[in-house]
Structure 1
Amino acid sequence: MDTVAQYRALKKEGRLQVALQLARRETSALEPNAVSQLGKMLQKDLCSGRQESAEIATGAAAMEPLRIFVAGQCTTTYLLPMLVAWAWADGMHVQVSDAEYDQVVQSLMALKEEHAPDVVVILPWNQRLLAHDARGAAQRIEDEVAFLQQCWAQVARLKCKMVQVSYDWMGVGALGYGLTSRHEHEGDISLIQRVNASLRAALPAGAYLVDLKHISSWHGKSRFYDERNYHWLKQPFSPEGLSAMARHIAAGIRVLTTGRKKVLVLDLDNTLWGGVVGEVGPHGVATAAGSTEGEAFLAFQKHVKRLRNSGVLLAVCSKNNDADAREPFEKNPHLALRLEDFAAFHASWDTKPKRLREIALELNLGLDSFVFFDDNPVERAHVRAELPEVLVPEVPADPSMYVRVLQETLAFEAVGITSADAARTAQYAAESSRKQALGVAASPEEYLSSLEMGAEILPISAETIDRVVDLITKTNQFNLTTRRHSRVKVEEMAATPGAVCFAVQLADKFGDYGIISVVLAVPDGDGAEAGEALRLDTWLMSCRAMGRTVEHLVMNHLAERATAAGYLRLLGEYLPTPKNTPVKALLPGFGFDSSAAGRGESWHSLSLTSAPVQSTQVRLLTTENA
């Protein structure tokens, strides 16, 4: 029985939760038409009253769906169910709607800010660029960029996130203009390349770009596009092309809303190198240039190293003796990786699900941010069964395909790489030193004091905005509201008269944590007492800084700033999610009173005239015009 039929049968039996799990697990193995069928069923099942049942009140289905609006210069109707299916496979529940055909700017202008989508997807097509009308090539490119900038201005007005798809052409030529066009400066292929270069140069910061030209080339243009569909439906994609594009758009939505996957967990024998190290020794493993097998493993190591340098944490989970597993990294000069490249190293004979849970605990990260890569199908099946939240790619027998398989997961896509990303492994190494210090301290207080922590309060500025938005996108545990504000929205809030918005950078004797906390508080405009209260819209902190009393310092600083600005009360809100229970008692613990807020149980109020000063082990070093 195929996956779609299994889904229908499970749903008919009243086992919707199992059906939804099946859909999430099997989408990547489906043919395009089956993805579309599955997406149509998911649209109905995830958005119907069934969502309220206890049966699916867990995971992404239980959370508020992400609202996605697709606006294209071609027909987008057939894209929507595929986008729902791929988003669900990527751990997201989305509700999708689209603009009318080629009404991109008009449809965006009609959207109201108070009902704005979470993410807008803009899908241009080349019908005007390649019109060969009286306009010259340069003018047509300029007109396309002006059109895009109109779209982007509307997205900025709506204060939502954006996935921008690039331009492309169909077939070897472009709509039949022939092979020679690739050699002409004003030929179709040249025009597409030039407009895409202009698009990249002008793209607003924080937007995610889907490179349609790259995706169609990867699949083959003759399979990716269908001229009949374009002429009949004004939809140029084949089912294969539509599914591939939907998958990349879904990856972009994930990156913008929850971030990339954070940890790549690797087996060793016949995964990172060829052979079993316990049998052939550290110099006998296949990992050097000169042999087909060795070059394949070395290429995979180099790819993994690039991921590490982009901010992905690497971990080892191997069934091996610990000393044997470490030896190649210490003694074999041909390896591209060294022990210091790994944030966690677990080699033992325990089960891999058990070890993965321990790695998650050690790194203080959720298992849903993990990718597990292992050549052994039994180990993969065991992890999938016990830890369904971990992404487990199907690893082929041929190591020369490892890089491709890992790339095709799209797990580590990102909008951009910051200096904080590049320093992440070093930060986790420093955390290991801190844990060693904790082991010898006589008490938690002595441990925190021994860290010699100091914090700087920084403004929301051009220097800090990238990291601030990155934290807003990714932080789940210490996050009162988990509101995912766009860069434009954050800049607007920071510029609001009377707002108190700042970032916190932390360091101790072991190293610099970087920016680890963000506060966005704005004047409250509700009721007769408007102007007397400062409303805490966003307060979050990286999980790496939890338990350090940083939040006590932040609370003291926030109360000071609010009082200095003339406010009498602080209003805070706790919006529960499956992951932010660590901050459920945060506001009451700081003296906030839920009964005094007068807005329902999620709201809390603190009188600034009687706000207690919180005890903290963190020294305030400087405040840079925050």
Structure 2
Amino acid sequence: MAEDLLSPQRIDDVAERYPQVPRLLARLPADDLLRAGRLLSRVSPDEVLRAHPTTPTLTIAVTGHGTLSALVPALTAQLARHGILLRPHLTDYDSYVFELSDPDSELHAANPDMALCVLDPAVVFDEVPTPWHVDDVEKVLAEKTALVEGIAARFADTARGVLVLNTVPLLRRHTGQLVDLKSRARLGVLWREFNARLLALVETNPSVVVIDLDPLVAEGVEVTDARLDSYAKAHLSQDLLAAYAREVGHLARNLAGRTKKCLAVDLDNTLWGGVLGDDGPEGIEIGGGYRGEAFRSFQRVVAQLGSQGVLLAAVSKNDPEPVRAVLREHPDMVLREGDFVRVAASWWPKSESIAALAEDLNIGADSFVFADDSPYERGQVRHALPDVAVVDLDDEPALHPHRLLLDGWFDVRELTGEDLKRPAKYRDELVRKDFMHGFDSIADYLAELGVRVRLARVEPADVPRVSQLTLRTNQFNLTTKRLQPAEVQSLLADPSAQVLAIHSGDRFGDNGLVGVVFTRREHDVVHVENFLLSCRVFARGIEQACLSSVLARAKAAGASAVVGRYRPTAKNGKVRDFYPRNGFVPAGAEDDTSVFRHDLADIAAVPGHVRLTENFGGTP
């Protein structure tokens, strides 16, 4: 089927077949992936959306100093790999200063979700004199630093999207023009200080992301093609632009709410060498020899991901007790049983183990990454659970870390305190599931669970977590409006808007900030612009309690009605009737969004098993 996709004769079929595209692209080599990107870039996004209206779509503007047309097909392919449709906007050659700074520019008119300002070495060296000295470069670097910082600040003030910058590689052809090593060293210092200033922009400007090209170059990617650089002003090589596009794809996945949550990892020949059932605990390879050290190194990488909020699950075809014994007792293991939210050791098909875990954790199969050395097991999971991202490992453990990390499956813009607590909270959630099984009815379970809810206005310290919830929450997300931190901050400063954080807890502990309600008052009507809730806390009465509170508050403040909206997506079908179930009546539609209205005459009470506290702050 991949060959069909790559055939220009089949281009007319691509829009109809777009949901199949991610699976077809998943295992293509780099050259074929770029070729597929060229084909896909010829497909109209509007045609795809007519056939598949819930397809996530991002508008990305591309601007910079050099010729960047080769970046568009690379971006198209990388976004398509993650099921995202690209609307590209490519600016004219060397127009980045005007396009990013002027709110009346075509770039601003495109209203991009991301604006890629691609920087290259010629940004600096096109402006040094001939001959040049290090002092000349220092002057230009200072000017460019001030220019880029000014552009970033201006863009944050005038645009809603994310500005993506990059560090700039220093070429041998430039350092080689200096014949004394002391001058070369000074140029290196100045250049690294310039890149450090670029990287530091993320600390002061929440609208900025900086992609560091140094790690890509360090892996052997050529920075430039001398002929294309000279003849076409394409200052970065096609290979580097392709690697850059892959990094942008990770960010795009996050912006589209498609960041993965759980790493399901095999054990035999993946976390350790050998087969536990055949070799026994004393015969598996962990530490000791060179292969054993490679497996330990991979375990360290997995542990590092887990320490940053990635849920870890062991999925293995083994008897459970020997597996648990190794995880608890083997002296060379880095990962222990407590590092996993679930150790699924059984003889079930691995797809069934993953599906059962998804149900227990109340997350979708599309939240999983599955890493296994067995082609059979990978193929079985791909076939049964096509939404799971599958990492192809093999019999070379030294390459396991590279293959797992290549696609940045768990990348987010910023870690929050809630991220670091996530594994413990999901482990608590599994305890809640076990607790529930001891009751004859859901009502009895909820009565004993002791649900606590605090609905309070968002504080500045909560902004990163609120933004993250809008980016990551898909199932209970009534309009799927994705907001960057700067956009949340802007709403906090808007006197007509109110952003309310939902905190919850119960007898098993604190769940933290698990949801958000966005409201805006226009005259005597309160509009619920979005309502979202983490999948961890569904079906406990939390959503009904918070909606009841918002309605009662609106009535007390003199509002005549509350209006809510629901925009369907591929993931939020379970809340399509949320407003009708809670006393709202249909009130028309706005494009693809259904509108509902509550006249505040009959407001349902907060569920009796929920203990609710409120702090609205101001008038809704």
TM over 0.5: yes
Q: Which residue of 2 aligns with 1:438?
A: 436
After superposition, the C-alpha distances for 1:312-371 in whole angstroms (9 at most, x for unaligned) are 111111111111221101111211111111112211111112222112111111111211
CA distance in 1, matches of 2:284, 2:266: 14
Unaligned 5+ residue runs, structure 1? 525-530
1:68–1:119 CA contact under 8 A, matched in 2? yes
Q: Which residue of 2 aligns with 1:281?
A: 280
CA distance in 2, matches of 1:379, 1:182: 56
After superposition, the C-alpha distances for 1:193-230 in whole angstroms (9 at most, x for unaligned) are 1112112222222643211122122224xx33212222
CA distance in 2, matches of 1:9, 1:111: 31
Q: Which residue of 2 aligns with 1:106?
A: 98
After superposition, the C-alpha distances for 1:481-512 in whole angstroms (9 at most, x for unaligned) are 00112222222122211322111111112111
Quote how far apart the aligned CAs of 1:51 are: 4.9
Q: Which residue of 2 aligns with 1:484?
A: 482
CA distance in 2, matches of 1:564, 1:70: 49
Aligned partner (choices 120, 128, 133) of residue 132 of structure 1: 128
CA distance in 2, matches of 1:511, 1:77: 53
Aligned partner (choices 585, 595, 598) of residue 587 of structure 2: 595
Of 302-311 and 204-213, deviating more is 204-213
Task: Output aligned runs, 1:600-611, within 5 Å.
Answer: 602-611=594-603
1:10–1:19 CA contact under 8 A, matched in 2? no
Classify the secondary structure of the residue corresponding to 1:303. helix
Give yes or no for the alignment of 1:253 onto 2:242: no
After superposition, the C-alpha distances for 1:121-161 in whole angstroms (9 at most, x for unaligned) are 22123334344359765553442233223332343245433
Q: Which residue of 2 aligns with 1:211?
A: 212
Q: Which runs of 4+ in 1 moved over 6 A?
A: 596-601
Distance 1:330 1:17, change over 3 A: farther
Classify the secondary structure of the residue corresponding to 1:423. helix
Give yes or no for the alignment of 1:225 onto 2:224: yes
CA distance in 1, matches of 2:23, 2:434: 40
Q: Which residue of 1 aligns with 2:562?
A: 570
Q: Which residue of 2 aligns with 1:528?
A: none
After superposition, the C-alpha distances for 1:371-425 in whole angstroms (9 at most, x for unaligned) are 1111111111121222221111221321111011111122122212222111111
Unaligned 5+ residue runs, structure 2? none
2:178–2:184 CA contact under 8 A, matched in 1? no
Distance 1:179 1:534, change over 3 A: farther
1:173–1:181 CA contact under 8 A, matched in 2? no
Q: Which residue of 1 aligns with 2:237?
A: 238
Distance 1:354 1:232, change over 3 A: same
Aligned partner (choices 58, 61, 73) of residue 81 of structure 1: 73
Quote how far apart the aligned CAs of 1:598 are: 9.4
Amino acid in the other structure paired with 1:276:
V
Classify the secondary structure of the residue corresponding to 2:117. strand
Classify the secondary structure of the residue corresponding to 2:172. coil
2:207–2:486 CA contact under 8 A, matched in 1? no
Give yes or no for the alignment of 1:65 onto 2:57: yes
1:122–1:163 CA contact under 8 A, matched in 2? yes
Distance 1:597 1:19, change over 3 A: closer
After superposition, the C-alpha distances for 1:78-124 in whole angstroms (9 at most, x for unaligned) are 10111001110122111111221221232232158775122222212
Classify the secondary structure of the residue corresponding to 2:60. strand
Task: Output aligned runs, 1:326-345, within 5 Å.
Answer: 326-345=324-343
Aligned partner (choices 344, 350, 372) of residue 374 of structure 1: 372
Task: Output aligned runs, 1:322-471, within 5 Å.
Answer: 322-471=320-469
Q: Which residue of 2 aligns with 1:527?
A: none
Distance 1:238 1:138, change over 3 A: closer
Classify the secondary structure of the residue corresponding to 2:392. coil
CA distance in 1, matches of 2:191, 2:556: 55
CA distance in 2, matches of 1:328, 1:197: 44
Amino acid in the other structure paired with 2:550:
L
Quote how far apart the aligned CAs of 1:182 are: 8.2
Give yes or no for the alignment of 1:266 onto 2:265: yes
Of 92-101 and 563-572, deviating more is 563-572
Quote how far apart the aligned CAs of 1:185 are: 5.8
Q: Which residue of 1 aligns with 2:152?
A: 152
Distance 1:114 1:615, change over 3 A: farther
CA distance in 2, matches of 1:229, 1:338: 52
- Aligned positions, number: 608
CA distance in 1, matches of 2:301, 2:592: 51
CA distance in 2, matches of 1:543, 1:106: 43
How large is the RMSD of aligned CA atoms in angstroms? 2.7
Q: Which residue of 2 aligns with 1:118?
A: 113
Task: Output aligned runs, 1:131-210, within 5 Å.
Answer: 131-132=127-128, 139-169=139-169, 171-174=171-174, 176-177=176-177, 184=184, 186-187=186-187, 189-203=188-202, 204-205=205-206, 207-210=208-211
Quote how far apart the aligned CAs of 1:174 are: 3.2
Classify the secondary structure of the residue corresponding to 1:287. coil
1:210–1:252 CA contact under 8 A, matched in 2? no
1:11–1:19 CA contact under 8 A, matched in 2? no
Distance 1:432 1:463, change over 3 A: same
Distance 1:64 1:301, change over 3 A: closer
TM-score, normalised to structure 2, is 0.91
1:506–1:515 CA contact under 8 A, matched in 2? yes
Distance 1:533 1:176, change over 3 A: farther
CA distance in 1, matches of 2:182, 2:237: 23
Amino acid in the other structure paired with 2:165:
V
After superposition, the C-alpha distances for 1:223-269 in whole angstroms (9 at most, x for unaligned) are 33212222222212222222111111111221233253111111111
CA distance in 2, matches of 1:6, 1:115: 29
CA distance in 1, matches of 2:113, 2:98: 18
Distance 1:199 1:259, change over 3 A: farther
**Percent of aligned pairs sharing the same letter:** 28
Give yes or no for the alignment of 1:623 onto 2:618: no
